[in-house]
Amino acid sequence: MATGLLLLVNSAFFLAVLLSKNEAFPLFAAKTLPGLAAGEWWRLLTAGYLHIYPMHILMNMMSLYNLGPLAEEMFGTRRMFTIWTVSTIGGFLLSAVWTPAPSLGASAGIFGLMGAMIAAGVISRHPYAKYLQRQLLINAGLGFIIGSLPMFPIDNAAHLGGMIGGFGTAWVAGFPRPFDDAREKLWSLLSIVSLALTIYAFYEVAMKLNQFAVRL
């Protein structure tokens, strides 16, 4: 469920920006250091749902399509969405500290899912979890190498922050425990908080866009 909704929302925002040619939306939603310094915290979340270029969203959505169901199957929908949210915030927070350049894209959350499944290989003795861990470590390493090449404008800081956030959240969360009602209720609550924060973040962007339109 979470993977499908994330694919839908990311694609819908991309099409909305593309068809409307509204450059103000990314302007108020992307990670920018001046914006964050001005108290616009929501950029740490909204930046993870926006894409400008077709190849950018295509690559990210393909990665999400492949990784999302695996992470959701391992950790459950509630944990997976919480991991995504924490990873997105953590990724763009580290990006803001690392570089002042504006950035956006779902890759912070995607690297967070990779970090979560790497953590699964640590906390689980299952051979498949170990296999995934090895493969994702290789993929992550390749991703960081490609991101360090000057011809690719890739935000490696967001990737690293997302991976750390995903690994840490998954390590704390562990796998679903159907008979531990209190623990499962906690992760239900955290997923609701994550969803509420995301919705409110886009509400803030909508208010900024409305103010911008009124000034025009």
Distance CA 198, CA 200 (A): 5
What is the dihedral sign for C-alpha 95, 172, 112, 11? negative
Let me know: does 133 contact 187? Beta carbons within 8 Å: no
How distant, in Å, are the alpha carbons of 82, 106, 132, 166, 206 from that of 123?
A: 18, 26, 13, 14, 41
Pick the closest to residue 195 from 82, 71, 61, 50 (CA basis).
Answer: 82
- The answer to whether 87 is a known catalytic residue is no
For the chain, report the end-to-end CA distance as a whole number of angstroms: 40
| CA 72 – CA 113 distance, rounded (Å) | 9
Known catalytic membership, residue 159: yes
User: Catalytic: which of 63, 87, 95, 107?
Assistant: 107
Alpha-carbon dihedral sign for residues 170, 173, 179, 181: negative
Where do we find the tokens 């911008």? Answer: 212
Among residues 56, 87, 159, 194, the one annotated as catalytic is 159
Which residues carry out catalysis? 107, 159
